Amino acid sequence: MSASPLPAPRLPVVGWNTFSGPLEAPVPTLLAHPRQVLTTSGRAAILLALECLAVGPEDVVLLPSYHCPTMVSPVMTLGAEAVFYPIDEHGAPRLDWLTAHVPARTRALLVPHYFGLPQPMDTVRAWCDARGIALIEDCAHAMFGRAGARAIGSWGDVSIASLTKFFPTPEGGVLALNRADLRLPDLSPVSRIDQVKAASDILHMGAAHDRLPGLNGLIRGAFALKSGLRALLRGERPAATPVPSRHGDLDEDQEIDANMALIDLPLSHRALTRASGWISTRVPRRRIVEARRRNYTFFTEAFAGCDGVHALLPALPADCAPYVFPLWVRTPDPGYAEMRRLGVPVSRWDRLWPGVPALPGDVGKAWSHHVLQLACHQDLTDEDLRRIVAEVKRLFVGPAAPSVPTDIAAAAVTPG
């Protein structure tokens, strides 16, 4: 595979490799759940999950202290109250704290599988059952895998996931129901314009990252022509065609602000476009799982023994496909801003929802500052991975850091 210069894609992009390899993955996927529906986003799926559970004003939803605003805004949109709970060093809820502090009006507890590494859910399930509290299993980071004896997404009363984190789609989420008394929502149809736009955005993202040899120039030229014609019609000077993204042309702060806003209810109740649904359900999955595991292990080995950084969770469970590689950085600023400026595919949950308290035994607030989420998806090239490691070491470790491995394939790990 030819090397691609940074910026590398932060999320998967379509390419000829997208369609290679066996269809089935060696681990379960939430897309095989018998009662699921595809939604416009993971955030929309959370909103729909809350509606399925009849959450409304006066109700309390328990949320982790370490979170993305997309977990909180659906609660606020429905007028419910978000109460934040502490997590332990593995990302699991501190049930002792919850037992002592759970509000009487609690309707639901949301528990994420952080970074795509499955959390043990049996004790959480038992805790919820004993109190009549619904469990929302947040699989936004965990499209594939097993949590204990069950497939990912099988523990919650309702479960949600995000398609964009694992597939080259401009939008998409999953809502799955495990309780027989709950009913899947009816979603509104998609307009023809939105159907066409989704398909064209998928192709444009792939061509913009040179992942469709033979068609890259043709696709980029077509979009440049369309953009130029639009500019001329508006009396403006033609500019470079922006690469489509799942969040438009927002920078990180704008993206977070958008996620903190109340949700567009009609959009959340819209069905997924056919192009996004087709890509998510029809492309081969084994490559996705194996490449992500290989890349996660490569990062673990590349940062071993480094002063100033280390793998937050170096042990990769056998039955999972990671979303990102969580890297603990002793002094993340100002280096993190520089990584973003350079286009390194990295993110950080440093903008927590206002009012998150300091809680005993909680690591959530520390994670929000010190943990960088490095992309490890299947559409990063070997050169992308080496450059990510090199930038991390340059910014956070220094010149005495161990050298970057050259044989990334040697870091491959296959699920058991």
Grade residue 117 by pLDDT with cuts at 50, 70 and 90.
Answer: very high
Rg (CA), the chain: 21
Grade residue 232 by pLDDT with cuts at 50, 70 and 90.
Answer: low
Q: Does 228 have pLDDT greater than 80?
A: no
Mean pLDDT of the chain: 90
**Residues 372, 333: contact at Cβ < 8 Å?**
no
**Residues 102, 290: contact at Cβ < 8 Å?**
no
String of DSSP letters for 129-148 = HHHT-EEEEEETT-SBBEET
Grade residue 89 by pLDDT with cuts at 50, 70 and 90.
Answer: very high
Out of 68-82, 225-239, 351-365, least confident range: 225-239
What is the mean pLDDT of the segment spanning 105-110? 98
Which pLDDT score is estimated for 242?
56
- The structure tokens 């033979």 sit at 214
Q: How far is residue 50's CA from residue 74's CA, in Å, rounded to a whole number?
A: 8
Which pLDDT score is estimated for 416?
38
Grade residue 322 by pLDDT with cuts at 50, 70 and 90.
Answer: very high
Q: How far is residue 344's CA from residue 391's CA, in Å, rounded to a whole number?
A: 8
Which pLDDT score is estimated for 357?
95
What is the mean pLDDT of the segment spanning 177-202? 96
Which pLDDT score is estimated for 278?
97
Q: How far is residue 275's CA from residue 84's CA, in Å, rounded to a whole number?
A: 37
**Residues 345, 375: contact at Cβ < 8 Å?**
yes
More confident of the two residues 219 and 189: 189
Share of the chain above pLDDT 70, in %: 85
Q: How far is residue 304's CA from residue 292's CA, in Å, rounded to a whole number?
A: 18
More confident of the two residues 245 and 22: 22
More confident of the two residues 99 and 224: 99
What is the mean pLDDT of the segment spanning 311-328? 97
Single out the residue of 315, 313, 295 nearest to residue 371, CA to CA. 313
Among the residues of 181-251, which ranges form H helices? 192-208, 216-233
Q: 334-379, pLDDT tens digit by residue?
A: 999 999 999 999 999 999 999 999 999 999 999 999 999 999 999 9
Q: Which helix or strand (DSSP H or E) is residue 233 part of?
A: helix 216-233
Between the ranges 209-213, 272-276, 351-355, where is the mean pLDDT highest? 272-276
Q: How far is residue 4's CA from residue 17's CA, in Å, rounded to a whole number?
A: 15
